[in-house]
Amino acid sequence: MPSQPPASGYRPDIQGLRAVAVLGVLGYHAGLPLFGGGYLGVDVFFVISGYLIGGQLLRELQTTGRVRFAGFYARRARRVLPASLMVIAATVVAAWFLTPPLRLPGIATDGIWAALSAANLRFAIQGTDYLSGPTPSPLQHYWSLGVEEQFYVVVPLLLLALFAVLRGSSAPLLAAGIVVTVASFAVCIAWGHSSAWTYFTLPTRAWELGIGVLAAACAPAVARVATPWRGLASWAGATGLLASMWVGSLPGYPHPGVGTALPVLATAAVILGGQVAREPRDECLPIVNRALGIRPAQFVGALSFSLYLVHWPVLALAQENSNSETPLPLAARAALAVLSLPLAWLLWRFVERPAMRTRVDAAHARRPLAVAAVAIAALVVPLTVAAPALAARPLASDRAATLGVDWQPSGTGYVPSNLTPSLADAAADTGELYRSGCQQGTSQSALKVCSFGPADGAAVVLFGDSHAGRWFPAIRAAFTGMPVRVISLTKSGCRSLESASLWSGAENRSCADWRASALDWLTQHPPQLLVLANHLGRSTGSAAASEQHWHDATISSVARLPVGVPVAILGETPEFDFSPPVCLSRHLNDALVCSEPRSVAVDRADLNGVRTGATDSRAAFVDLTDWFCDASRCPTVIGSSLVYTDEHHLAATFSAQLGGPVFARLDPLVAH
């Protein structure tokens, strides 16, 4: 740590960095060209925050030997809460008018977590995929505020403890800070960039703010470095930031992880390059830092917090109001991004700036803290009451006949009051495997083996991902009362049909280890029938390339299975561009609006690829598409049954009704 605290004062270049960061995030969220790596702007914000807030804490420790916690948290509340609580409240109110009724309870609950600075924990628990998840929350961007506020609960205590133990000694204190930062980075790498817990939680993100704190600690020493060397650091940092915006758009970019180090270290380099100890300051600034101080960058930088808060609800609510997962046209997204600027100015002018101008005296810090607590309670309490009430609202009144499954079914034209499961309960209709804990989670690699039926019955093994878990009720129903034992080897997010390059690839270690364990188990316990079921997703390239890919993946996957075991492969279920339950909650009297053309819902290229691959591998291919769709469309309500719980997962209740068709296709394959 420095012998003198880092200098305080306004830094126009840091305000310019804020502008770069928020415009990157805005462009990424709007899907604008050239902004594919713009999401890394959040990491730039983390470094800036660590530098500024960490610098304040260090100055206080260096000058007084202690931290006035009440004053510190009162300043944080004044800085963050007025604008953030206002946007939460406005977003929930807007959602009432713009989103389908089924989305309101979730958005209200997101508002509760966001107001408590814990939105990141909610999204981690939900397993949210920030970069590609369907129907994102309009408050999903509050995850970064959660990380920051949790960091500032921990770091003042940590700095005070280190300062006391090491008695303010500079070198050991700096070394301790480096150790803590490196430890957080190591956790980030160890957890892997595909995990929601890696993306959203403090242990894997603290190192980014820690780099900012370390930059603040080193700032006085850097300020004495000659201008050419600082200029070199600034140019290197600017180059790194521009490069990160490009490479961050590449598929499989390791973020959060090794890839995050580029924008983080680049931001620290630009900040330190502009650290000047003498006056006149501007004459000693590198050209990069001078450029960041131009007036437009200062204007956007001043609005950066408000713009970050308002832009995402504007984009997300407009997308939800379109009732489609297909992105809005580019022109519409660009217009919404531009609209965010005047809205951000209004928030800054009438909420954020007045709050910031209210001085917080350490001796009188309890009053703003009490006001902050009341403000949070005033938002959280109504949302806590409203969320379950919204979930319990009746969504329909007319009943429908309870029908069995039918070949090429016609859909029910409305949402019946006896819909099973109800729209509110759809997400929970996952089936027995999930309820009993037999469906392995996305981040765990241990093999779970669950057996159902007579112990001495012929073994039918279901092997696959979450789609296999949703097929389980059908297979269980098919063999109920038969001398058949159904065994599950299922793990969400891990296919049993995979390309040769990804089957045991290091990019998803938990899947590779799980598949290896499954194959070992199957070799030791060969069943009388092995059933594969998987979610293949929509084709992203040409139909011919997709068909060839899944043909080859099927052949290579079947070749890995134990020799002599009969194999049946279930065809992919229809997939929608929207969540059927959410759509149905908006169209109670016209459920057919929420159906989709068979040509769209059924990916013929993937289906044909698996079909031909199964034939070439001497495996049976079981295509039950005609039990979901008629000749032209795939309905989402059949009789009184809801068919899907989201864009592509079967409702367990409907799956169980498919026992008859599944039995007819699988029973002849079982060696009884």
Q: Is residue 45 part of a domain?
A: yes
**Terminal C-alpha separation, the chain:** 74
Closest among 309, 272, 293 to 89, alpha carbons compared: 309
Quick one: 371 and 451 in the same domain? no
Per-residue pLDDT band for 1 (boundaries 50, 70, 90) equals very low
Distance CA(64)–CA(590), nearest Å, equals 68
Residue 531, classed as helix, strand or coil, is: strand
**Residue range 262-279: mean pLDDT, rounded:** 88
Q: What is the mean pLDDT of residues 564-572?
A: 95
**Do 367 and 222 share a structural domain?**
yes
> Is the pLDDT assigned to residue 653 strictly greater than 70?
yes
How far are the Cα atoms of 46, 389, 448, 460, 640 from residue 396, in angstroms, in the given order? 46, 16, 40, 40, 12
Q: In what order do the strands lie in the sheet with 529-533?
A: 450-452, 484-490, 458-464, 529-533, 567-570, 620-622
Helix (H, G, I), strand (E, B) or coil at 312: helix
Are the C-beta atoms of residues 10 and 175 closer than 8 Å to each other? no
Do 382 and 476 lie in one domain? The reply is no
Give the pLDDT mean for 582-600.
91
Asked if residue 403 is part of any domain, the answer here is: no
Amino acid identity at 272: L
Domain assignment present for residue 419? The answer is no
Residue 2 — very low, low, confident or very high, per pLDDT cuts 50/70/90? very low
C-alpha to C-alpha distance for 169 and 38, rounded to whole angstroms: 39
Residues 458 and 342 in one domain: no
Give the residue from 335, 368, 388 where a domain finishes.
388
User: Is residue 207 scored above 60 in pLDDT?
Assistant: yes
- 468 and 361 in a single domain? The answer is no
| Structure confidence at residue 396 as a pLDDT band (50, 70, 90) | low
Query: In the structure encoding, which two tokens stand for residue 300, read together?
Result: 């956007």
The DSSP result for 295-350, as a single string, is HHHHHHHHHHHHHHHHHHHHHHHHHHHTT-SSPPPHHHHHHHHHHHHHHHHHHIII
Higher pLDDT, 466 or 505: 466
Phi, psi at residue 121, to the nearest 5°?
A: -70, -40
CA gap 596, 643 in Å, rounded: 13
pLDDT in tens, 316-365: 999 988 877 678 999 999 999 999 999 999 999 999 999 888 776 655 66
Residue pointed to by tokens 């900040």? 271
- With helix as H, strand as E and coil as C, how does 237-279 read? HHHHHHHHHHHCCCCCCCCCCHHHHHHHHHHHHHHHHCCCCCC
> Could you tell me the two tokens for 179?
């150790």
Name the residue with tokens 């044909």. Answer: 608
Residues above pLDDT 70, as percent of the chain:
93
The predicted-structure confidence for 121-172, as pLDDT tens digits, reads as follows 999 998 888 766 667 999 999 999 999 999 999 999 988 888 888 776 777 7
We report the CATH number of the domain holding residue 542 as 3.40.50.1110
- 441 lies in the same domain as 310: no
**Residue 443: per-residue pLDDT:** 79
Cis peptide before 327 (omega within 30 of 0): no
Q: Are residues 221 and 286 in the same domain?
A: yes
Q: How many domains does the chain have?
A: 2
Print the domain residue range for 176. 12-388
User: Is 7 a member of any domain?
Assistant: no
- Choose the weakest-confidence range: 40-49, 261-270, 354-363, 428-437: 354-363
Range name among 27-31, 298-302, 359-363, 444-448 with the lowest pLDDT average: 359-363
Is residue 463 located within the same domain as residue 340? no
DSSP letter assigned to residue 415? -
Q: Out of 364, 388, 412, pick the residue that ends a domain.
A: 388
How many other β-carbons are positioned within 10 Å of the β-carbon of residue 397? 11
Q: How confident is the model at residue 521 (pLDDT cuts 50, 70, 90)?
A: very high
Q: Please give the C-alpha separations between residue 448 and each of 241, 444, 462, 518, in angstroms, as whole numbers.
A: 44, 10, 12, 9
